[in-house]
Amino acid sequence: MNLFSIFSFVLVLAFIYLYAYYRSRSIDKKDSEGYFLGGRSLVGTTVGMTIIMTNLSTEQLVGQNGQSYVAGMEVMAWEVTASVAIVMLAWVFLPKYFKYGVNTISDFIEIRYDTFTKRIVSILFIVTYVVSFMPVVLYSGALIFNDLFGIEEHLGVSNITAVVIISTVIGLVGVTYLFVGGLSLIAHSDTLYGIGLLLGGLTIAVLAVIALGENSFFRGLDIFLNSSPEKLNAWGALDSSIVPWPTLFLGMLFNNLYFWCTNQMIVQKALAAKNLKEAQKGAMFVGFFKITGMLFLVIPGILAYNMFGEGMQMDLAYPALVAEVLPNWAAGFFGAVIFGAIISSFVGALNATVTLFSLDFYKPVINKQATNHQIAKAGRILTVVIGIIVVLIAPFISLFPQGLYAVIQEFNGLYSMPLLAIILVGFFSRKTSATGAKVVLIFHIIVYALSKVVIPDVHYLYVWSVLFLLDLGILYFYSQLKPDQEDFQFDKYKNKVDITPWKHSKWVGILILVIVVASYIVFSPLVLAK
C-alpha cells in the first residue's frame, strides 16, 4: 500500500463512520431497545445490508473462492441455497417473532417452553460466539487482510506479529463502534460497507475475466465457459467433501434454516426493523443478494484456476487473483471494504452476545430491578469486557492445527439442529414439552458427538440430515404424549410494532425460489457443465 492507498483507506473508514453516526444520532442509545435493537427503527434496505455484512466475512471471500478453485461451482450451495431459507424467514419465522414481540430467539423459547431451556440456548449461543466465532473472524480476517495487502512487509514485522496487530486494531475499532452507537450505528455503517463489498467483489471478478482474455472481456468469458466445463457443475458427487448433492434437500436446507431463521446474530437485525413489512423487505433483499453472491464468492476461484492452473494452495487462490488484477491505486478502497467486512461480522456477533447476556441474565438474574437505562449501561460495559476477551483469544487460534477451523465450524452442529426443531414445534404445536426440549438437546449432543467417532468419514451434512428428523420427531411426539402445560393460546401475546405483512412478499419470494432453481439448472450438465 502506497501513501495514496493509506490515505484513501482512512478516508473511506472515516466517511462511513460519520455517515452512520449522522443517520443514527436520533436513536436513544441509553435505552435498552435503542442500544440493542436500534430503537426498532430500521428500514428494509438497512436491515438487509446489516444482515448481509454480519454474515459475510473475509474467510468466506477467501475460503469459498479457495474451495471453488479446487471443486468448482458446487461451492455455490453455501450462498444460493441460503435464499430458500431466507424466503422462509420472511414468510414464516419473522411473522411469528414479531407477533410475540420478542427481543431474542431465547425469548420465544421461554414463551413456548420454560426459562431453564431459554438459558441453556442463550449459553450455547454466547459460548459459540465468544470461544469460536468472534476469535476466528478476527484472526482469519487479519490473516487474509495481511495476505491481500502485505502489511507485514510494510511494518517490517513477522507474519504472526502483523496478524496480531491487525486483529487487535479491528477488535478495538469494533468495540468502539458498538460502545458508541449500538446496533443503529452498525446497521447504517453496514449499508455502505455492503455496497462497497458488492461493487468491489464484482469488480475483481470482471477484471479477472478481462485479464484471462488478455484485455478482452468477451474472450475471457469464452475461456471461462469452455476451458474447464467440469468446474461449472454445481451438483456435487455423492461422496463430495464439499456439498454432496442429496444434502441440498436435507442437511444443507436444515443448516440454512437454523442459520438464517433461528440464529440470534442474524435474526436480531431483522427484529430491529420498524415493522414486519420492513423486516420482510430486508429479508427478501438478502435473498436476492445471496444468489448474486456466487459472482464474487465462487466464480473468482474458478477464474483463478483458469489463470494459474493447478497446484496452488487453495487459500492462496483469491489473494493471488487480487494481487494480479487489482490496480495499485484501488488498494486502499478495497482494503477499507475488506476491513469493514471483518468489523461487521465481529460486531454483529458481539452485539448478539451482549444482548443475550444483558436481557437473559443481567436483567432477570443479576439485577432484577434494572431500568432500561441500567440495562443499556450494563450492555456497554459488557461490550468492552467481552470485546477485550475476544481480542486476547484471537491470536491463540494460530496455535491450533490447521484443520481445527473446520472442526470449530462443525461445532454448531451440537445444537443447531435441535434448536431448529424446538422452534418449529413451538411455532406450530399447541402442546409443547420443556422436558422434551431438554431430552432432545441431550440426545442430539450425545449422538452427534458419537457420530464423529463411529462414522468420522461420513459428511456432517448427511449426519445432520438424519439427526434433525430424529430431533423433530422425538420432540413432537414427546410434546403430544407428555406436554408440560395446557394448550398454548397463540393470541395471548401482543406485538410491539405493526405486523401488517409486506403485500409483495409472496410473489417476490416465489421469484427468488425460481431463480435458485434456474441457477442449478444453468450450472449443471444440462447447460454449462457439458
99-135 per-position pLDDT tens digit: 888 888 998 999 889 999 999 999 988 988 898 788 8
State the pLDDT at residue 522: 97
Q: How far is CA 508 from CA 3, 83, 289, 503, 512, in A?
A: 46, 12, 13, 10, 6
What is d(CA 142, CA 151) in angstroms, rounded to the nearest whole number?
10
State the pLDDT at residue 399: 64
Query: Across-strand partners of 236?
Result: 244
Q: How far is CA 142 from CA 171, 286, 362, in A?
A: 10, 26, 32
State the pLDDT at residue 311: 86
Quick check: 400 pLDDT over 70?
Answer: no
Q: Which residues contact 290 (CB under 8 A, 6 or more apart)?
A: 79, 80, 82, 83, 86
How many alpha carbons lie under 13 Å from residue 495 in its C-beta half-sphere?
A: 15
Contact 103, 354 (CB under 8 A): no
Task: Provide the sign of the torsion angle of the four alpha carbons 80, 85, 87, 89, taken in this order.
Answer: negative
State the pLDDT at residue 58: 76
Contact 55, 266 (CB under 8 A): yes
Looking at per-residue pLDDT, the higher value among 286 and 329 belongs to 286
Contact 414, 448 (CB under 8 A): yes
Given pLDDT bands bounded at 50, 70 and 90, which one contains residue 493? low
Range with the lowest mean pLDDT among 60-69, 142-151, 310-319, 424-433? Answer: 142-151
Mean pLDDT of all residues in 393-421: 72
Given pLDDT bands bounded at 50, 70 and 90, which one contains residue 372? confident
Mean pLDDT of all residues in 293-306: 95
Given pLDDT bands bounded at 50, 70 and 90, which one contains residue 136? confident
Looking at per-residue pLDDT, the higher value among 497 and 421 belongs to 421
Looking at per-residue pLDDT, the higher value among 361 and 154 belongs to 361
Quick check: 313 pLDDT over 90?
Answer: no
What is d(CA 270, CA 42) in angstroms, rounded to the nearest whole number?
9
Quick check: 402 pLDDT over 60?
Answer: no
78-95 per-position pLDDT tens digit: 999 999 999 999 999 999
Mean pLDDT of all residues in 476-494: 75
* 3-class DSSP string for 144-186: HHHHHHCHHHHHCCCHHHHHHHHHHHHHHHHHHHHHHHHHHHH
Quick check: 406 pLDDT over 70?
Answer: no
State the pLDDT at residue 403: 43
pTM of the prediction? Answer: 0.91
State the pLDDT at residue 405: 46
No. of H helices and E strands in the chain?
A: 26, 0
Contact 357, 325 (CB under 8 A): no
212-235 per-position pLDDT tens digit: 999 999 999 999 999 999 999 999
State the pLDDT at residue 485: 65
Phi-psi category of residue 98: left, alpha or beta, with phi > 0 → left and psi -120 to 50 → alpha: alpha
How does DSSP classify residue 330?
G
Quick check: 41 pLDDT over 50?
Answer: yes
Quick check: 408 pLDDT over 60?
Answer: no
Q: What is the amino acid identity at position 291?
A: I
Range with the lowest mean pLDDT among 107-111, 155-159, 482-486? Answer: 482-486
Range with the lowest mean pLDDT among 120-134, 320-334, 396-410? Answer: 396-410
Quick check: 291 pLDDT over 60?
Answer: yes
Quick check: 148 pLDDT over 90?
Answer: no
Q: What is the dihedral of CA 476, 482, 485, 488, to 10 degrees?
A: 30
- Which grid coordinates belong to 93? 419465522
Closest by CA to 262, choosing from 91, 105, 413, 475, is 105
